[in-house]
Amino acid sequence: MIEPLALVGIPAEDQALRDEVRAFLQTSLPAVPADVRARSWMGFDADFSRALGRHGWLGLTLPREYGGSERGAFARFVLSEELLNAGAPVGAHWIADRQSGPLIATYGTAAQKALYLPKICRGEAFFCIGMSEPNAGSDLASVRTRAEKTAHGWRLSGQKIWTTQAHRSHYMIALVRTSASTAERHAGLSQFIIDLKLPGITVRPITDLAGDQHFCEVFFDNVELADDALIGTEGSGWQQVTAELAFERSGPERIYSSIVVLNEWIDLLRRRGQVREPARIAAGRLLAQLATLRAMSVAITAKLAAGQSPVTEAALTKDLGTEFEQAIPIVIGDLLDNDADGAAPPAELLRALAYVTHVAPSYSLRGGTREILRGMIARGLGLR
């Protein structure tokens, strides 16, 4: 049974961060076209990420001794919400800041923390996540990539796919099998920090329908890893990665992927003044959905801030958020197509709409497919 999510407010000290971030964005992102801003958390700009690091906005929740700010999950929610709403290019640091840093801070050794966390906080170490594999997809318990113990460390062989920004990242944190067989599902899985410059690693970008390259195939051919590449406890990878996924599945990026298109369309309606009833009804429904999903995401942030691992609630938010994000380009596209009497929409809005329409089908693949998420929700309800 899933407990009802509480209605939670963001603390005033964290809300106060908004004005500072907005002032920074106004000067650092002048006149960026909407179709570029629509790429936001797929947008890769290392200089922008390092500028965030200089403001102390990377590693916001990490310990001060490693360069972090030791602020809570709500501060990071506010920062993420402002960056996504502005369409800022956050793809370079996004995974390191959201998942890899907190994972290393929780499970890493003292040496791993000292090596990686300061670089993450400065925007000098970008990470990707090695989870999905061919013939396994989001079914992480089916991963076949294997690391075998050697006299000097580990030998890694296998393949990952749909790995976001692997061709531009310095490191990958991968979930691999270190013992047992795939028949035992959740047993024998471990996580490793992999330097992507090591011999035996091949990264091949995959061009998507929009002509961009974000996803990659990554091949490991007898890659020699040192002992200290293992993070956490051998065989506890499943428990570690499911807790990590709660960060990935509940954040603002799971409801704001199409936000630039929605913002541009709402601005167009405001400029036109008189809004036809179909558009007015659609705008009201979309904004009501957004408000509800945002409240769910904030409530889960409160659970994460309290040290809980709301796996089922995060899966629910991600599934509903994905439906919302995928509906936006369809609803707005249909309304613009049927608005024969209105003035032609701005070309910038149409380009942004075209981009989001192309990539929106992938929203229900990344971070766990719809089928996997609904299986998790069913399990949380006691139905499996």
With contact defined as beta carbons under 8 Å apart, do 39 and 84 qualify?
A: no
CATH class of the 249-381 domain in this structure = mainly alpha
- For the domain spanning 129-236, the CATH number is 2.40.110.10
Per residue in 305-320, pLDDT (tens digit) is 888 878 888 889 999 9
User: How far is CA 313 from its chain centroid?
Assistant: 16
Query: What pLDDT score was predicted for residue 272?
Result: 87
DSSP-assigned letter for residue 70: -
CA geometry: angle 205, 210, 215, nearest 5 deg: 25
Per residue in 248-290, pLDDT (tens digit) is 676 788 899 999 999 999 999 999 888 889 999 999 999 999 9
Per residue in 128-139, pLDDT (tens digit) is 999 989 877 667
**Sequence spans of domains, the chain:** 12-125, 129-236, 249-381
For 23-32, letters b (16+ CB in 10 Å) and e give: ebbeebbeeb
Nearest Cα residue to 345 out of 271, 287, 289: 271
pTM of the model: 0.90
Q: What's the alpha-carbon Rg for the chain, to the nearest Å?
A: 21
Q: What CA–CA distance (Å, rounded) separates 159 from 130?
A: 9
Tokens of 49: 């990420």
Neighbouring residues of 217: CB distance < 8 A, sequence distance ≥ 6: 159, 160, 161, 163, 203, 204, 206
With contact defined as beta carbons under 8 Å apart, do 290 and 255 qualify?
A: yes
Query: What pLDDT score was predicted for residue 138?
Result: 64
Q: What CA–CA distance (Å, rounded) separates 223 from 164?
A: 21
With contact defined as beta carbons under 8 Å apart, do 325 and 289 qualify?
A: no
User: How far is CA 19 from its chain centroid?
Assistant: 24
Per residue in 29-61, pLDDT (tens digit) is 888 999 999 999 889 999 999 999 999 999 999
Helix axes 370-380, 311-337, angle to 10 degrees: 140
72 or 109, higher pLDDT:
109
Q: Does 246 have pLDDT greater than 70?
A: no
Q: What CA–CA distance (Å, rounded) separates 300 from 282?
A: 27
Per residue in 123-181, pLDDT (tens digit) is 999 999 999 898 776 677 788 999 999 999 999 999 999 999 999 999 999 999 998 66
With contact defined as beta carbons under 8 Å apart, do 352 and 264 qualify?
A: yes
With contact defined as beta carbons under 8 Å apart, do 242 and 376 qualify?
A: no
With contact defined as beta carbons under 8 Å apart, do 123 and 92 qualify?
A: yes
Nearest Cα residue to 297 out of 240, 328, 257: 257
Query: What pLDDT score was predicted for residue 369?
Result: 85
* Annotation: CATH topology of 12-125: Butyryl-Coa Dehydrogenase, subunit A; domain 1 (1.10.540)
Query: What pLDDT score was predicted for residue 343?
Result: 78
Query: What pLDDT score was predicted for residue 247?
Result: 66
Beta-carbon-side half-sphere exposure of residue 24 (alpha carbons within 13 Å)? 18
For the chain, strand residue ranges (E) read: 127-130, 146-149, 153-160, 171-177, 189-195, 201-207, 213-226, 230-231
180: left (phi over 0), alpha (psi -120 to 50) or beta: left
